[in-house]
Amino acid sequence: MQITRQADYAVRTVLYLAGVENGGRAPTSKIAQLQRIPASFLAKIVSQLSVAGIVQTSRGARGGVTLAREAKDITLLHVVEAIDGPITLNECVADPSMCAFGDNCAVHNVWCQAQIDLVTQLSRSDFATLATAQRAMSNGSGLPTAS
């Protein structure tokens, strides 16, 4: 399984916003530049995140994007699913009738457990914790250091 580039950009956007001091606003142009996201693509991502209640946007000279709720209350799962929809490793996990082998499939339980593990890990990873880790890795700048 691989998340889409759009979900990756959304994660980077929310992580950046989680690092903005005092829940401040950030212009999309700055987010696009610092996170290396094409501006037109970022506009679409921010719109989806706004619809999902993850970010708020405002226009004007003091406009920009901010988190709609505290970073500790936003998880990787929220962001990935806001962009890519529900995580499903295999169609049989969501609907066992999709498997031609039905109850005679030895792999079904493995897919189900792997999905549970992935969803659990993503739901435990909140953006306050991630922003703290990012600051530690980037010497306080909030940006990844070149490696």
pLDDT tens profile 47-78: 999 999 999 998 877 779 999 999 999 999 99
Comparing C-alpha atoms, which of 65, 73, 60 is closest to residue 131?
A: 73
Lowest mean pLDDT among 24-28, 129-133, 141-145: 141-145
pLDDT at 141: 56
Residues of the chain with pLDDT > 90: what percent?
67
Domains, in order of start, for the chain: 5-86+126-137 (1.10.10.10)
- Residue linked to tokens 């049989």: 92
Residue 136's contacts (CB-CB under 8 Å, 6 or more residues apart) are none
pLDDT tens profile 77-134: 999 999 999 998 888 888 888 888 877 888 888 999 999 999 999 999 999 999 999 9
pLDDT tens profile 37-51: 999 999 999 999 999
Residues of the chain with pLDDT > 70: what percent?
93
Q: What is the reported pTM?
A: 0.87
What's CA 28's distance to the chain center, in Å? 17
pLDDT higher than threshold 70 for residue 140: no
